[in-house]
Structure 1
């Protein structure tokens, strides 16, 4: 399993463990009424009307996919890291259609799914925002390198589950405290390293998921001149 898959797998496990997910049944009339209701939501592109209870979500960012599933929402479509591996099997869900890769989402594939909400990232997808907005209400995080906890709450809010997303983060923080109390981590330094090829490796800094998780658990990351968390 690649380092990226391991990190994303860790996120979905931690988030899912933090908040037990329950399925609620309701009548078809109640579902129709709820799914048709809308509310205003503000992102980097301004204010747009989004469904209060989105039923057909398309996500263009791995963190958006992980967070949606941890909140009990299975997107109908998702951009993937690459077309070979597709939707990560470790997520444990079926029925998600790949809609291109994260850096190049497939507009036609997205439109074919008839989404009622699209989630993306301005730093990656700004050039196609207008085309996406013509398909369905579209919400963009500012950038995928912002502190991931903030982005999890932003995604949860867009999905109508802000409180649940805050509960996920609290559960994550509680787990960190549990690890601190069970292990001798004080004064120890560590760095997560990802070899990319024969000449390049990445070190994960304090604002990355990997780095912030290590620090949350009481470990210390050596000082570096971090750029976008790496």
Structure 2
């Protein structure tokens, strides 16, 4: 260890040391949870990844669930707040004439931007979000606490873009959008194998260029079919 590094550590206050330790723990836990899920990770696994004794984790977090909640709470509010702001700005700019593709583009691009710009930490965080979203045990509660307001904001704008579309079809449309988004965020690698490397799970720019347009066509197809059924 260099003299400079030793001096830097000596200058750290206890609060700074504590904050640094917690950040290392959260980064490691986030990576492990994103790969193995909640039940596939122990506090000892996290401690080993950080390089500390597991009793240190018990000092900061009451149990594994408390650690998991702290990990999720770092990024979910940021993603939700950015989306809400972007949707509000979009509706204002649309001046009463929002489009499905415009609203979906804003909603989806927020997470793609975080993925592309945020590095591995955000990739791990959003992959973890995908796992939580697909957990019937406690996914609805956690996702609801963080994301229901912004999803309902999107639905509100989609209703204005599709005033003649039945409300249930708009909710189903969002359901399909959410499923595709969560699969993308999970980066399973399946499309890599299926396409023999032609498509990459982590090519978020390619997804950004296609998803909103693809889903927009689905919304219009369903709504137009329902309109024909009504005569």
Give yes or no for TM over 0.5.
Answer: no
TM-score by length of 1: 0.27
Structure number with higher strand proportion: 1
Structure number with higher helix proportion: 2
TM-score by length of 2: 0.27
